[in-house]
Every structure is written in structure tokens, then in C-alpha cells.
Structure 1
Amino acid sequence: MSDRLKNKNIIITGASFGVGLELASLCANRGANLVLLARSIEKLEQIKHELEDRFSVSVFVYKLDVSNSDEIERIFLEIKNELGHVDILVNNAGFGMFKEADHISLDEVKAMFNVNVIGLMACTSMVLPWMKERRSGHIINVASMAGKVATPKSSAYCATKHAVLGYTNSLRLELAEHNVFVTAVNPGPIMTNFFTIADKKGTYVNSVKKYMLTPVYVAEKIVNCMLTQTREINLPRWMNAGSVIYALFPRAFERIGKRAFNKK
């Protein structure tokens, strides 16, 4: 096992379940000190005690709703005072709703953008000056295959993930001269409680269940890329091949894939 993460300071948003929780466990196992952020402080406290007991690392937890920019600024300044610096930020928090464009409310759209895009940008903007000053760091943004291949019944969600990819790609260029790495993570559907909100009827989950990724598999791929100059992580590979075909032959891809897309 690589000791690249030993004694590094890593912030993970959306750390109370799913990929975020698996990331916390894997990073602690490699000797990293953690800052775990989520809306449920009770879950975070439980995770903190378990990880500190198992791995003898320092784990700090904060209740944070990433849609609240003022709260982000306050908590990240506390983190800076506590740790001194941040080596890695994993922007993992996010949620989605699968509804047709004329069925989703503007409030629901705003809520998704506030968490998936604005919250991600706000967290990133807090750590950027610290990383640039030290000429070291890694920003990892969990986007989605939905940011590469638009599908029906998820127009607003796809829009948020397209925005994350645009932001991430621009940020990578901005930070190249500062020796700060930027990685986009684009997973397909993952077996988490994400779908309790996104797919309340269970239609989409039932149609893609056999293709769904496990949280630990995605987390392992992310941890293995930490502090390396990895541009993107695309999972699974065959789905990423579809995104390449979509970019080259969008009309044919949409025509052929229409039946599968509408299973949502």
C-alpha cells in the first residue's frame, strides 16, 4: 500500500454515507488526517470514533450544508485554524432529481445547483489560496457521466454536472502553473441512497441495477489517484466509451439510445 497519503490533510464533503464514507475509511487506512463534512453531525461523530479507534488518525467533523455559502466560509476558516493547511479537497456532496423539464419546479432546480455547483465552487474557492501559496494540493470534483451524456428526465441534474465539468476543466488550466492537481470523477449509477430522492418510483434503478457500481469500488479509484496528475476518472469504462461515441456521433447516439434512456 502506498504511503503517499500518510499525514496528509483531506477534506471530504458528503462524508456520512456512500462514496464519501468509503473514501473516509480508505484514506484513514492510508494514514491521512480527515475533515468530514455533512449535514448529519450524529453520523459524522460515529464515523469519527470508529476511524480514530481503527486507524489512529485525527478525524475532525463539522455539520455543513454546502448550499449555505456563509456556513462554508465560517467552517473552512475553522478548519484552516485547526489544521494549518489542506492537501486534498474532495467535493463529493451532491444530489439529483429525475423529472422532465416541465415537471421539476424552479425551487428544485435551484436546490440542485446550490449543492452540486455553487456549493462545490464555494468549498473550492476557500482552499485555493492556501494550496496556491504552498504550491501543492489536489482538488477532486465528483461529477457524473450525466455531465458527458445528457439523458431525458434529468435535464436539470445533467445541467449541474455539465457545469461541474466545465468548472473543473477550466480550474485545471488555471492551477497548472501552481502545481495544484485537479481531477474530475465521472461515475455511472452507484448503489447508494442517492436514488431515494432521484428515482422515487424505482424505475431507473430497476433498469440499470446490474450495471450499478459499488461505493467502495468508486472510492478506491479516487483514493488511488490522490496527489497524482490524473485528469479524469471515468467509471465504468464501457460507459465512458459511450460518451466518446456521443461526442463524435451525437445524432446517431441519441437515436439508437433513445429506448434505453427513456427507462428512467
Structure 2
Amino acid sequence: MANELEGKTAAVTGSASGIGLASAEAMLAAGATVVFVDRDEKALEEICGRHEKAIPLVFDLLNAEECKTLLPKLLELVGHLDIFHANAGSYIGGDLVDADTDAIDRMMNLNCNVVMKNVHDVLPHMIERKTGDIIVTSSLAAHYPTPWEPIYASSKWAIDCFIQTTRRQVFKHGIRVGGISPGPVITGLLKDWSPEKLQEAKDAGSLVEAEEIANVIIFMLTRPRHMTIRDVVMMPTNFDL
């Protein structure tokens, strides 16, 4: 993995923890300069203090006016953008009838609208340069009607459609768009799981680490330009037990 992304610039949203952090640090290890985009200022300060080529950008993606400024702020920091990983997201599990409707709005906005707006804003820059990679964090829930998380799964079904259709529009410009769809990953998104369910999954080997997802993202980014890894579905081997 060393130096495969040397000279590349990247931005990863939701990079203060979980898959976003693992992805951003994997890109750094591969030689890229990475902008860590997150609203958690304290976490970004600590993380970026550990890495020479890590640049923090404290940013609230759910602020509609601020969201419009993401690309200009990224270009101020790195000059151009080779890789954009739209990773930020939130989770709602459980029965639909028990969900808070304001929480539904917030999750659908972050998981769907923000991703679409970010990619919309990044694309003209990449089209002008005739190259670029866009990775979107989806979920195994986008490929299976998961009964214990209908709201979250719906957001990921929607964004998976967005990934597949957008890729078909922009490949002619030299831009690759791919989705990474993990099964259960040990991240903060599982905070809604009961301690018993989480421990049961750990004991059964039905969870994977964020770093394992990041390794697949690096694989996607480092294929020859004539090859697109369009959609990776990965899960713990014991998930279906």
C-alpha cells in the first residue's frame, strides 16, 4: 500500500471516527494528502496532530449554507481534489413506529441529500480535470430488506441507486464512482444496538473492523484507470449464521 497514492489529494467526510477515520488514515499511509472533514473539532485536532499530511476541516454538513462552501474550502487547502470519499452518515435502528420524526429528517438529510449535494459540487472540478475518484459509503442494508432498520436501510437503498446512476453519467469524463457496502462494522453507528446484541455479534464473529473496510477502499482507488470497482459488498463471514 505504501506510496500508491503519492501526490494525490483526498477529502473524507465524517473522518473523526469509524470508517471515515480508517479510510482517511489508510489514504495517508498510501501517500496521499488528506483533508479530514468533520464537525468534531477536538477529535480532528488530535487526529491531524499525529499525521504530517493530514489537514483538518471543521465543518457542519447539515448546515445547508455551509454545505455549499465545501468544495471552495477544500480547494483553498489542497489546490485540487483527486479523491472524494462521501462517508458521513447516521443511523436509526428499531421499529419505524418508535422512531422520532425529527431524527428521521436528520438522518435522511445526512445520508442522502448531503451526499448528493457534495458529489454534485465536486463533479465540475473533476470533470474539468478529466479525472477523479468518488467513493460513497453505503451499506449491506442497501442490498437486503433489513427488518430491524427500515429507516436506515431506506436511506442506503436510495444512495446506492444514486451511486449506480451517477457513475453511468460521469465515467465518460474519466471519473470513477464506487460504493462500499459493509455489513456490521465496529463503529459508533452501532450505539443503538443493545449491549447484549453487540456482545452476541462480537462473540459470533459477525462484526468487522473499520480498518478492514479501509483496506478495500484503497484497493478500489489503486486499480488502473481503465478499471472501475463499482460496488463492493462485504460482510463478516459469520453474519448469516
TM-score (norm 1): 0.83
Q: Considering only aligned residues, what root-mean-square deviation do their CA atoms show, in Å?
A: 1.9
SS at match of 2:50: helix
Query: How far did residue 231 of structure 1 move?
Result: 0.7
Correspondence 1:156 to 2:155: no
Among 81, 84, 89, the alignment partner of 1:86 is: 81
Question: For structure 1, which segment, 162-171 or 16-25, has the greater mean C-alpha deviation from structure 2 after superposition?
Answer: 16-25
Among 197, 201, 211, the alignment partner of 1:208 is: 201
Q: Distance in 2 between matches of 1:91 and 1:181?
A: 13
SS at match of 2:69: helix
Which 4+ residue blocks in structure 1 deviate beyond 3 angstroms?
A: 1-4, 237-240
Q: Which has the larger radius of gyration?
A: 1
Correspondence 1:61 to 2:56: yes
Q: 1:117 to 1:169 in 2, by over 3 A?
A: same
Query: How far did residue 227 of structure 1 move?
Result: 4.8
Q: 5 Å matches for 1:1-264?
A: 1=1, 3-52=3-52, 57=53, 59-196=54-191, 198-199=192-193, 201-209=194-202, 210-228=205-223, 229-236=228-235
Q: Is the 8 A contact 2:16 2:40 kept in 1?
A: yes
Q: Distance in 1 between matches of 2:236 and 2:160?
A: 18
Q: Is the 8 A contact 2:70 2:118 kept in 1?
A: no
The residue type paired with residue 134 of structure 1 is: R
Query: How far did residue 194 of structure 1 move?
Result: 1.3
SS at match of 1:233: strand
Query: How far did residue 81 of structure 1 move?
Result: 2.8
Q: Distance in 2 between matches of 1:130 and 1:110?
A: 30
Q: Is the 8 A contact 1:191 1:215 kept in 2?
A: yes
Query: How far did residue 238 of structure 1 move?
Result: 5.4
Query: How far did residue 207 of structure 1 move?
Result: 3.8
Q: Provide the residue aligned with 1:247 in structure 2.
A: none
SS at match of 1:102: helix
Question: For structure 1, which segment, 25-34 or 130-139, has the greater mean C-alpha deviation from structure 2 after superposition?
Answer: 25-34
SS at match of 1:150: coil
Identity percentage of aligned residues: 25
Query: How far did residue 29 of structure 1 move?
Result: 1.4
Q: Distance in 2 between matches of 1:127 and 1:216?
A: 26
Q: Is the 8 A contact 1:138 1:227 kept in 2?
A: no
TM-score (norm 2): 0.91
Q: 1:119 to 1:102 in 2, by over 3 A?
A: same
